[in-house]
Amino acid sequence: AQSVSQHNHHVILSEAASLELGCNYSYGGTVNLFWYVQYPGQHLQLLLKYFSGDPLVKGIKGFEAEFIKSKFSFNLRKPSVQWSDTAEYFCAVSHNAGNNRKLIWGLGTSLAVNP
Amino acid sequence: DADVTQTPRNRITKTGKRIMLECSQTKGHDRMYWYRQDPGLGLRLIYYSFDVKDINKGEISDGYSVSRQAQAKFSLSLESAIPNQTALYFCATSDFTSGRGETQYFGPGTRLLVL
Protein backbone atom coordinates (compact mmCIF):
# COMPACT_ATOMS: atom_id res chain seq x y z
CA ALA A 1 0.00 0.00 0.00
CA GLN A 2 1.08 3.52 -0.66
CA SER A 3 2.34 5.42 2.34
CA VAL A 4 3.87 8.74 3.27
CA SER A 5 6.40 8.99 6.05
CA GLN A 6 7.30 12.15 7.90
CA HIS A 7 10.32 11.36 9.99
CA ASN A 8 10.17 14.20 12.47
CA HIS A 9 7.08 14.23 14.65
CA HIS A 10 8.09 17.19 16.79
CA VAL A 11 10.68 19.82 15.99
CA ILE A 12 11.72 22.70 18.21
CA LEU A 13 13.85 25.50 16.80
CA SER A 14 14.94 28.97 17.74
CA GLU A 15 14.13 31.90 15.51
CA ALA A 16 16.53 32.31 12.57
CA ALA A 17 17.45 28.63 12.61
CA SER A 18 17.22 26.69 9.38
CA LEU A 19 14.45 24.14 8.91
CA GLU A 20 14.29 20.89 7.02
CA LEU A 21 11.35 18.53 7.42
CA GLY A 22 11.61 15.12 5.84
CA CYS A 23 8.95 13.43 3.70
CA ASN A 24 9.29 10.10 1.94
CA TYR A 25 6.68 8.18 0.00
CA SER A 26 6.36 4.64 -1.22
CA TYR A 27 4.73 4.91 -4.66
CA GLY A 28 7.03 4.20 -7.59
CA GLY A 29 5.17 5.89 -10.42
CA THR A 30 4.51 9.49 -11.34
CA VAL A 31 3.42 11.49 -8.32
CA ASN A 32 2.04 14.83 -7.31
CA LEU A 33 3.49 16.13 -4.04
CA PHE A 34 2.19 18.63 -1.54
CA TRP A 35 3.07 20.35 1.70
CA TYR A 36 0.25 21.80 3.75
CA VAL A 37 0.50 23.89 6.90
CA GLN A 38 -1.95 24.14 9.78
CA TYR A 39 -1.44 27.12 12.08
CA PRO A 40 -2.80 26.77 15.62
CA GLY A 41 -6.58 26.69 15.57
CA GLN A 42 -6.79 27.05 11.82
CA HIS A 43 -7.49 24.89 8.79
CA LEU A 44 -4.97 23.38 6.43
CA GLN A 45 -3.47 25.68 3.84
CA LEU A 46 -1.39 24.76 0.84
CA LEU A 47 2.28 25.74 1.23
CA LEU A 48 3.55 24.41 -2.06
CA LYS A 49 3.07 21.63 -4.58
CA TYR A 50 4.99 19.74 -7.21
CA PHE A 51 3.33 18.38 -10.34
CA SER A 52 6.11 18.38 -12.91
CA GLY A 53 9.10 20.37 -14.15
CA ASP A 54 11.70 21.95 -11.88
CA PRO A 55 12.11 19.66 -8.86
CA LEU A 56 12.85 22.65 -6.63
CA VAL A 57 9.53 24.19 -5.76
CA LYS A 58 9.08 27.52 -4.05
CA GLY A 59 6.00 28.18 -1.97
CA ILE A 60 4.56 30.86 0.22
CA LYS A 61 6.29 32.48 3.19
CA GLY A 62 9.80 31.58 2.07
CA PHE A 63 9.32 27.82 2.06
CA GLU A 64 10.71 25.56 -0.60
CA ALA A 65 10.81 21.83 -1.22
CA GLU A 66 12.93 19.61 -3.41
CA PHE A 67 11.61 16.52 -5.17
CA ILE A 68 14.31 13.86 -5.38
CA LYS A 69 12.81 11.05 -7.41
CA SER A 70 15.63 8.59 -6.74
CA LYS A 71 15.13 8.98 -3.00
CA PHE A 72 11.31 9.13 -3.12
CA SER A 73 11.60 12.29 -1.08
CA PHE A 74 10.06 15.73 -0.96
CA ASN A 75 11.71 17.56 1.94
CA LEU A 76 10.51 20.96 3.06
CA ARG A 77 13.04 23.69 3.82
CA LYS A 78 13.23 27.22 5.06
CA PRO A 79 16.56 28.98 5.61
CA SER A 80 15.46 31.08 8.58
CA VAL A 81 12.33 30.32 10.58
CA GLN A 82 10.20 32.83 12.44
CA TRP A 83 8.05 32.45 15.53
CA SER A 84 5.01 32.73 13.22
CA ASP A 85 6.06 29.49 11.51
CA THR A 86 4.94 27.57 14.58
CA ALA A 87 2.43 25.14 13.12
CA GLU A 88 1.82 21.58 12.05
CA TYR A 89 3.14 20.58 8.65
CA PHE A 90 1.70 17.80 6.53
CA CYS A 91 3.18 16.12 3.50
CA ALA A 92 0.78 14.50 1.03
CA VAL A 93 1.21 12.50 -2.15
CA SER A 94 -1.09 11.43 -4.95
CA HIS A 95 -0.09 9.24 -7.81
CA ASN A 96 -0.71 10.75 -11.21
CA ALA A 97 -2.34 7.71 -12.78
CA GLY A 98 -6.00 7.41 -13.58
CA ASN A 99 -8.91 9.41 -12.32
CA ASN A 100 -9.61 7.49 -9.13
CA ARG A 101 -6.76 8.85 -7.08
CA LYS A 102 -6.69 10.36 -3.64
CA LEU A 103 -4.19 12.09 -1.46
CA ILE A 104 -2.16 9.95 0.90
CA TRP A 105 -1.20 11.94 3.98
CA GLY A 106 1.73 11.82 6.32
CA LEU A 107 1.06 12.01 10.05
CA GLY A 108 2.37 15.53 10.32
CA THR A 109 5.28 17.30 11.98
CA SER A 110 4.67 19.73 14.78
CA LEU A 111 7.06 22.69 14.62
CA ALA A 112 7.56 25.01 17.57
CA VAL A 113 9.72 28.08 17.03
CA ASN A 114 10.95 29.81 20.14
CA PRO A 115 11.35 33.59 19.97
CA ASP B 1 -10.20 29.06 2.62
CA ALA B 2 -13.31 31.24 2.68
CA ASP B 3 -14.66 29.44 -0.40
CA VAL B 4 -15.23 26.30 1.67
CA THR B 5 -17.45 26.73 4.69
CA GLN B 6 -18.42 24.32 7.41
CA THR B 7 -21.23 24.45 9.92
CA PRO B 8 -21.28 24.22 12.83
CA ARG B 9 -17.75 25.23 13.83
CA ASN B 10 -18.09 23.64 17.24
CA ARG B 11 -20.52 21.06 18.52
CA ILE B 12 -21.02 19.22 21.76
CA THR B 13 -23.36 16.25 21.69
CA LYS B 14 -24.19 13.19 23.73
CA THR B 15 -23.61 9.54 23.01
CA GLY B 16 -26.34 8.12 20.80
CA LYS B 17 -27.42 11.39 19.26
CA ARG B 18 -27.60 11.87 15.52
CA ILE B 19 -25.75 14.89 14.21
CA MET B 20 -24.99 16.36 10.83
CA LEU B 21 -22.01 18.39 9.78
CA GLU B 22 -22.45 20.50 6.69
CA CYS B 23 -20.02 21.68 4.07
CA SER B 24 -20.59 24.17 1.28
CA GLN B 25 -18.24 25.39 -1.40
CA THR B 26 -18.33 28.17 -3.95
CA LYS B 27 -15.27 27.01 -5.87
CA GLY B 28 -17.27 25.05 -8.45
CA HIS B 29 -15.31 21.88 -7.78
CA ASP B 30 -16.81 18.47 -8.45
CA ARG B 31 -14.73 16.64 -5.87
CA MET B 32 -15.39 16.88 -2.17
CA TYR B 33 -13.95 15.07 0.84
CA TRP B 34 -14.55 14.56 4.53
CA TYR B 35 -11.59 13.98 6.85
CA ARG B 36 -11.17 13.65 10.57
CA GLN B 37 -8.06 14.80 12.38
CA ASP B 38 -6.92 13.32 15.67
CA PRO B 39 -3.70 14.21 17.52
CA GLY B 40 -0.86 12.02 16.34
CA LEU B 41 -2.95 10.32 13.66
CA GLY B 42 -2.90 13.01 10.99
CA LEU B 43 -5.75 13.25 8.53
CA ARG B 44 -7.90 10.23 7.81
CA LEU B 45 -10.36 10.08 4.96
CA ILE B 46 -13.96 9.27 5.89
CA TYR B 47 -15.84 9.66 2.60
CA TYR B 48 -15.25 11.29 -0.73
CA SER B 49 -17.39 12.25 -3.69
CA PHE B 50 -16.13 12.76 -7.22
CA ASP B 51 -19.45 14.17 -8.38
CA VAL B 52 -23.05 14.34 -7.22
CA LYS B 53 -23.75 10.74 -8.19
CA ASP B 54 -20.46 9.26 -7.08
CA ILE B 55 -19.84 8.69 -3.35
CA ASN B 56 -17.12 6.47 -1.99
CA LYS B 57 -16.03 5.20 1.39
CA GLY B 58 -12.68 6.26 2.72
CA GLU B 59 -10.48 4.45 5.19
CA ILE B 60 -12.66 5.04 8.27
CA SER B 61 -16.27 5.22 7.08
CA ASP B 62 -17.84 3.00 9.78
CA GLY B 63 -20.29 4.98 11.90
CA TYR B 64 -20.58 7.75 9.33
CA SER B 65 -22.76 8.46 6.32
CA VAL B 66 -22.77 11.25 3.76
CA SER B 67 -25.08 13.03 1.41
CA ARG B 68 -24.12 15.01 -1.68
CA GLN B 69 -27.13 17.24 -2.09
CA ALA B 70 -25.64 19.29 -4.90
CA GLN B 71 -22.29 20.04 -6.43
CA ALA B 72 -21.75 22.66 -3.76
CA LYS B 73 -22.94 20.72 -0.70
CA PHE B 74 -21.59 17.62 1.01
CA SER B 75 -22.92 16.65 4.44
CA LEU B 76 -21.50 14.20 6.95
CA SER B 77 -23.78 12.44 9.44
CA LEU B 78 -23.05 10.53 12.58
CA GLU B 79 -26.11 8.34 12.98
CA SER B 80 -25.43 7.49 16.62
CA ALA B 81 -22.51 9.43 17.98
CA ILE B 82 -19.97 7.75 20.24
CA PRO B 83 -17.14 9.30 22.29
CA ASN B 84 -14.36 8.04 20.03
CA GLN B 85 -15.83 10.16 17.25
CA THR B 86 -14.65 13.20 19.16
CA ALA B 87 -12.31 14.87 16.69
CA LEU B 88 -11.72 17.79 14.37
CA TYR B 89 -13.57 17.28 11.07
CA PHE B 90 -12.50 18.90 7.84
CA CYS B 91 -14.25 19.19 4.54
CA ALA B 92 -12.17 19.71 1.40
CA THR B 93 -12.73 20.25 -2.30
CA SER B 94 -10.34 19.67 -5.15
CA ASP B 95 -9.80 21.09 -8.59
CA PHE B 96 -9.25 17.81 -10.40
CA THR B 97 -8.60 17.94 -14.12
CA SER B 98 -8.09 14.70 -16.01
CA GLY B 99 -4.42 14.10 -16.74
CA ARG B 100 -3.25 16.88 -14.42
CA GLY B 101 -2.67 17.21 -10.76
CA GLU B 102 -5.25 18.35 -8.28
CA THR B 103 -5.03 20.52 -5.19
CA GLN B 104 -7.30 20.17 -2.17
CA TYR B 105 -8.75 23.21 -0.45
CA PHE B 106 -9.93 22.91 3.12
CA GLY B 107 -12.74 24.34 5.15
CA PRO B 108 -12.18 25.81 8.63
CA GLY B 109 -13.10 22.58 10.41
CA THR B 110 -15.75 21.46 12.89
CA ARG B 111 -14.63 20.59 16.38
CA LEU B 112 -16.91 17.84 17.70
CA LEU B 113 -17.08 16.62 21.27
CA VAL B 114 -19.16 13.54 22.04
CA LEU B 115 -19.89 13.10 25.73
Write the pLDDT tens digit of every residue in B62-109: 999 999 999 999 999 999 999 999 999 999 999 876 556 678 999 999
Instruction: Reply yes or no on whether the pLDDT at B113 is more than 60.
Output: yes
Contact yes or no for B59/B3 (Cβ under 8 A):
no
For B91, nearest residue in chain A (alpha carbons): A43
Say which residue, B1 or B77, is predicted with more confidence. B77
Where b means 16+ CB within 10 Å and e means fewer, A27-51 reads beeebbbbbbbbeeeebbebbbbbb
The pLDDT, as a whole number, for residue A96 is: 62
Find the angle CA(B6)-CA(B11)-CA(B13) to the nearest 5 degrees: 140
Instruction: Reply yes or no on whether the pLDDT at A42 is more than 70.
Output: yes
Average pLDDT, chain A: 91
- DSSP 8-state code for residue B72: T
B9: left (phi over 0), alpha (psi -120 to 50) or beta: alpha
Contact yes or no for B47/B58 (Cβ under 8 A):
yes
Contact yes or no for A38/A88 (Cβ under 8 A):
yes
Strands A4-5 and A104-105: unpaired
Mark which residues 20-59 of A lie under 8 Å from B by CB.
Answer: 32, 34, 36, 42-46, 49, 51
Helix/strand/coil for A31: strand
The pLDDT, as a whole number, for residue B102 is: 77
Strands B110-114 and B87-94: antiparallel
The pLDDT, as a whole number, for residue A41 is: 86
**Residues in chain B closer than 8 A to A49 (CB atoms):** 101, 103
Confidence of residue A101 (pLDDT cuts 50, 70, 90): low
A70: left (phi over 0), alpha (psi -120 to 50) or beta: alpha
Q: What is the per-residue pLDDT across B20-68, written as a single tens digit (0 to 9) for each? A: 999 999 999 999 999 999 988 889 999 999 989 999 999 899 999 999 9
B103: closest CA of chain A, how far (Å): 8
**Are B42 and A96 inside 8 Å of each other by CB?**
no
For A4, nearest residue in chain B (alpha carbons): B42
Contact yes or no for A8/A109 (Cβ under 8 A):
yes
Burial, B93: exposed, middle or buried (Cβ in 10 Å; 0-12, 13-18, 19+)? buried
**Residues in chain B closer than 8 A to A106 (CB atoms):** 42
Euclidean distance between CA atoms B20 and A93, whole angstroms:
29
Contact yes or no for B25/B4 (Cβ under 8 A):
yes
